[in-house]
Amino acid sequence: MKKLAVIILNRNLPKVTDKLYNKLKKSNKNTDIYILESGSDKKLLAKNYTWHANWPAAKKKGLRFSRGMNYALIQLIKANKFELYDYFLLITNDTEFENYSIKNKIDKIFNKHKKLGVLSPCSKNWGEINYLKDERLKYFWFIENSALIIKRDLIEKISDISKPKYIDFLFDGNNFRGFGLEVELITKAYINDYSAGITRDIIVFENESYLKNDYKVIKTDPYNKNLEKYVIEGKKWMKKKYGFNSKWSMQMYAKLFYDKFFDYNPEMKKYRL
The 10s digit of each residue's pLDDT in 14-71 is 999 999 999 999 999 889 999 999 999 999 999 999 999 999 999 999 999 999 999 9
Question: In this structure, what are the phi and psi dihedrals at residue 224, rounded to the nearest 5 degrees?
Answer: -65, -40
Name the band, by pLDDT with cuts 50, 70 and 90, for residue 129.
confident
Question: Residue 132: pLDDT above 90?
Answer: no
Tell me the mean pLDDT in the region 145-149: 89
Tell me the mean pLDDT in the region 176-184: 94
Cβ 25 vs Cβ 106: under 8 Å: no
Tell me the mean pLDDT in the region 178-182: 94
What's the CA gap between 126 and 224, in Å, rounded? 20
Domain 4-271 has CATH 1.10.760.10: no
User: Is the torsion defined by CA of 116, 118, 124, 128 positive or negative?
Assistant: negative
Cβ 247 vs Cβ 235: under 8 Å: yes
Q: What is the pLDDT of residue 110?
A: 97
Cβ 179 vs Cβ 234: under 8 Å: yes
Burial class from Cβ neighbours inside 10 Å (0-12, 13-18, 19+) for residue 56 reads exposed
What's the CA gap between 122 and 127, in Å, rounded? 10
Cβ 70 vs Cβ 169: under 8 Å: yes
Q: What is the pLDDT of residue 128?
A: 86
What's the CA gap between 4 and 84, in Å, rounded? 9
The DSSP call for residue 44 is: G
Name the band, by pLDDT with cuts 50, 70 and 90, for residue 144.
confident
Give the C-alpha distances (Å, rounded to integers) separating 100 from 1, 67, 176, 201, 231: 20, 26, 29, 11, 31
Which residues, 6 or more positions from 220, have their beta carbon under 8 angstroms from its beta carbon?
11, 62, 211, 226
Q: Where are the domains of the chain?
A: 4-271
Q: What is the pLDDT of residue 80?
A: 96
Q: What is the pLDDT of residue 198?
A: 96
Other beta carbons within 10 angstroms of residue 134's beta carbon come to 5
Burial class from Cβ neighbours inside 10 Å (0-12, 13-18, 19+) for residue 248 reads exposed
The residue ranking higher by pLDDT, 134 or 226, is: 226
Instruction: Average the pLDDT over each of 121-125, 237-241, 257-261, 267-271 and give the range with the smallest value.
Output: 121-125
What's the CA gap between 130 and 115, in Å, rounded? 24
Tell me the mean pLDDT in the region 161-184: 94
Q: What is the pLDDT of residue 237?
A: 96
Name the band, by pLDDT with cuts 50, 70 and 90, for residue 1.
confident
Strands 87-92 and 4-10: parallel
